[in-house]
Amino acid sequence: MDIKELLNRTDRFAAKAGCKLTEVDEHHAVAVMTVTENHLNGGNVCQGGALFTLADLAIAALMNFRGELTFGISNSMMFVSSARLGDALRAEVVSVANHHKIPAVEVSVTNQEGRLICHVTGMGYRKGIAIK
């Protein structure tokens, strides 16, 4: 099973938000999104939920890479700078602890200039069943 292809096809919310996985292996995953008018909030910058959706897709890819269904149980997000219309965002997630039941990860979301937009930490719970 190719988790990148699977999630790009089945995570309909992330796909509708313009998010796409581009790299996935056992050590990291990358998801990308370009900020459009649909991502902007009332302050005319990228809405935090859009940034979280991008990070969450990358998290899901890494945590589910082993083929065992894993759901997020805790996440924390720190906003560092604003993403603006047209920004090409890249969320890269790496494993902090690849525990057999409760994995932990860190995500950096950057723009096309490499500027940090936000940082996300997350924990998951492995269900003990195969992902389909």
pLDDT tens digits, 53-104: 999 999 999 999 999 999 999 999 999 999 999 999 999 999 999 999 999 9
Of 57, 1, 33, which is closest to residue 110 (Cα–Cα)?
Answer: 33
pLDDT at residue 132, rounded to an integer:
79
Strands (E), the chain: 20-24, 28-34, 68-79, 88-97, 104-110, 116-130
Q: What is the mean pLDDT of the chain?
A: 96
Placement of tokens 């969450």 in the chain: 56
pLDDT at residue 6, rounded to an integer:
94
CB 72, CB 14: distance < 8 Å: no
Give CA angle at 61 (55, 67), nearest 5°. 155
Q: Which domain holds residue 33?
A: 3-130
- Tell me how many domains the chain contains: 1
CATH value at residue 125: 3.10.129.10
Predicted TM-score of the model (pTM):
0.95
> Does the pLDDT at position 27 exceed 80?
yes
pLDDT at residue 125, rounded to an integer:
98
Residue 20 pLDDT class (50, 70, 90 cuts): very high
Of 88, 78, 73, 24, which is closest to residue 52 (Cα–Cα)?
Answer: 78
